[in-house]
Structure 1
Amino acid sequence: MAKGTRGGNGRFERNPDTATRDAQAARLRTRGLTYRQIADELGFAGPGKAHEAVKRVLAETVQEAADDLRAVELERLDQMYQAALKVLETEHYAISHGKVIYLEEGGPPLADNGPVLAAMDRLLKIQERRAKLLGLDAPAKTSVTVSDAITSEIEQLAAQLGMTDDTEPSEP
């Protein structure tokens, strides 16, 4: 039985032998064996260690599936982005009753910026979705300050309820 090693950060690092044994533990669990039986069969120190092995396999399986799905979604977003970019880069002309509108006869056609603006909006939505999918949007930090007046009011209400900082409400 190969022992796991610890990395520079002190965390357990799996080697191919432990990964194989973890996979065997998961297969035995799917066959209905208890964690005690798995521990006995594969030489784990106890049922808790067998349970940890199965959890590691499940976590990695879920992570791999999530990574695959994320890659597919990113590819779809890339395709949508390219299509929206083509709309953005194409010249669009105003049309009324099926005919191109000209400001003056013989002059250039009237540009229609609606499709360009819609494409820009769509590109921004795709970028937002991509950033969210990749976890690029940092959580917003907010700061809340409580004024002295509010603190004083809270203390008065607590006193009315018969509470102090370190006691429970008193019974009437």
Structure 2
Amino acid sequence: MARRLTEEDQQRRTKVMRLRRQGQSFEAIGDQLGISKQRAHQLYWDTLKKIPAQEVAEYRVEQAERLDEMLRRAYEVLGRKHITVSNGRVIYHEDVPLEDDAPRLMAIKTVLAIEERRAKLLGLDTPVKQQIGGEVQVTYNFEGVDVEGLR
């Protein structure tokens, strides 16, 4: 029989869920609640397991909406021109401001991270069962053991 949660345990779980929904890392949650990041992670997943399916579906929708907003903003950065600035001055090449590729590359990295998170959230990357064919023969050699005596 599962033990009943104390009021304090329930409040801690509620805080973990609220902070995680706000986008806090498990380390930050642990720091705020005076627990380890591993414990925060454990409380989060234990609590998620106990949430009814309807609430999980609502949570997924909420998370997907957050990811959509982040993705939209990353694509905005990706679509902009970024000028290279060094020591507060625009860098020119042949009298034309030099474009800075770093923000675009970071936006691409961010898009990939968001898409990876979305795939996990929606279960798109579930492992595919592989069947490996072929015949394998294994021979065991026992040293220092009387194999005949074991029969």
Common fold, TM-score beyond 0.5? yes
The TM-score, its normalising length taken from structure 2, stands at: 0.56
Distance across 2 between alignment mates of 1:146 and 1:130? 40
The structural deviation recorded for 1:140 is: 4.2
**Aligned pairs for 1:141-152 within 5 A:** 141-142=129-130, 143=132, 147-148=136-137, 151-152=138-139
DSSP-derived class of the 1:84 partner: helix
TM-score (norm 1): 0.50
Unmatched runs of 5 consecutive residues or more in structure 2: 1-48
Residue 72 (structure 1) aligns with: 62
Structure showing greater radius of gyration is: 1
Q: CA separation of 1:161/1:93 partners in 2, compared to 1, >3 Å: closer, same or farther?
A: farther
Residue by residue, what CA displacement relative to the aligned partner does 1:31-76 show, whole Å, maximum 9, x if unpaired? xxxxxxxxxxxxxxxxxxxxxxxxxxxx9x6101111111110010
Correspondence for 2:123: 135
Q: Give 3-state SS (helix, strand or coil) of 1:75's partner.
A: helix
Identity rate, percent = 36
Match of 1:24 in 2: none
CA-atom RMSD in angstroms: 3.0
Structure-2 change in CA distance of 1:145 and 1:117 (3 Å): farther
2:86 is aligned to 96
Structure 1 moving runs of 4+ over 6 Å? none
What runs of 5+ residues in structure 1 fail to find an aligned partner? 1-58, 164-169
Measure, in 1, the Cα distance between the counterparts of 2:57 and 2:147: 55
Using the alignment, how far apart are the partners of 1:161 and 1:75 within structure 2?
A: 67
Alignment size in residue pairs = 100
